[in-house]
Amino acid sequence: MNDYYEKFLNSFERIDKEGANFVGLKPLPSGTCVETCANEIIELMFPGRCDGGANQPIREVVTHQLQTLKWTLTNLIFLSYSHECEEQRCPPIENRKNTDAAVETLFEALPQIRTIIKKDVQAGFDNDPAATDIHDIILSYPFVKAITIHRVAHVLFKVGVPLLPRMLSEWAHSNTGIDIHPGALIGESFFIDHGTGVVIGETSVIGNNVKIYQGVTLGALTFPKDERGNIIKGAKRHPTIKDNVTIYANATILGDIIIGENCVVGSSSWIKADVDPDTLVTISNPEIIHKKIIKKK
């Protein structure tokens, strides 16, 4: 066997001890199945979006979609808990109990989730003069995919489902360029215009009627650590955005700070401290220099 083969195999033995090798563990949720689940979630919230429902009654279409999604989610959540159980040596019977409880919680929340998503879509139409109608928003605006998946993933995240909420959010991220951690709490009538490059961190809290543009970051300024120097997981480290705030393109808002009600944050602003309600935040106008282009003969 060639020397580089042996070196590569030895590296796997080392990685095994560091937890980066999944060989020998129970099956995990696959990327393909997560993609299927994500599309089923979107189709459920906007029934007939793909094929028009083939002229079936709406109740029949939605019933079928509910049953399909429940089967898919149950399997994915069970695999997620099984992996965690393998790591923590917990009783396997807990996987089924946790799975059933998570699925039940999500499906009880679905009516409210759909109501909120419809308000998000309406906010998109109301705030974008380029939108021709509601169908335009649903079928072509990336934020619809991102916020629909987020609102489902957030419920799963809050009840403690491992792996799957983040995998769903990363599917939305890869498809839309919008990166929303499933832990972020987002209010009603939320609109992201254009969307590419938006990042919303885990402990962000966003109120109602908030509008943000491409490239906006709601991030962490520092990471709190314990006495051993390890990062404290779950601590509040991202901004709170109050109601009726507009954040324009490429603004960066960092840390556990508060942007008050009715604020407008201008493009490319860098904010690390609280902003009082009813405040306009902008950067100074940069100097614009015009130089004549001299063409070489």
Question: 106-154 pLDDT, tens per residue?
Answer: 999 999 999 999 999 999 999 999 999 999 999 999 999 999 999 999 9
Model pTM?
Answer: 0.90
Residue 18 has pLDDT above 70, yes or no: no
| Higher per-residue confidence, 239 vs 53 | 239
Q: State residue 88's pLDDT score.
A: 59
Q: Which tokens go with 118?
A: 């419809």
* Mean pLDDT of the 252-256 span: 97
Burial class (CB in 10 A: 0-12, 13-18, 19+), 147: buried
Candidate from 93-97, 113-117, 293-297 with smallest mean pLDDT: 293-297
Domain architecture of the chain: domains with CATH? 26-177 (1.10.3130.10), 197-284 (2.160.10.10)
**Highest averaged pLDDT of the listed ranges 7-21, 85-99, 203-217:** 203-217
pLDDT > 70: what percent of the chain?
90
Residue type, 45: M
Q: pLDDT band for position 26 (50/70/90)?
A: low
Query: Per mean pLDDT, which range of 50-59, 84-93, 196-205, 240-249 is the poorest?
Result: 84-93
234: confidence class by pLDDT, cuts 50, 70, 90? confident
Q: Which of 19-23, 54-58, 75-79, 281-285 has the weakest average pLDDT?
A: 19-23
Quote the pLDDT of residue 63. Answer: 93
Asked whether 35 and 171 are in contact (CB, 8 A), the reply is yes
Greater confidence (93 vs 38) lies with: 38
Read off the pLDDT of each residue in 38-43 and give the average, rounded to a whole number.
96
Strand arrangement, sheet containing 240-241: 185-186, 205-206, 240-241, 258-259
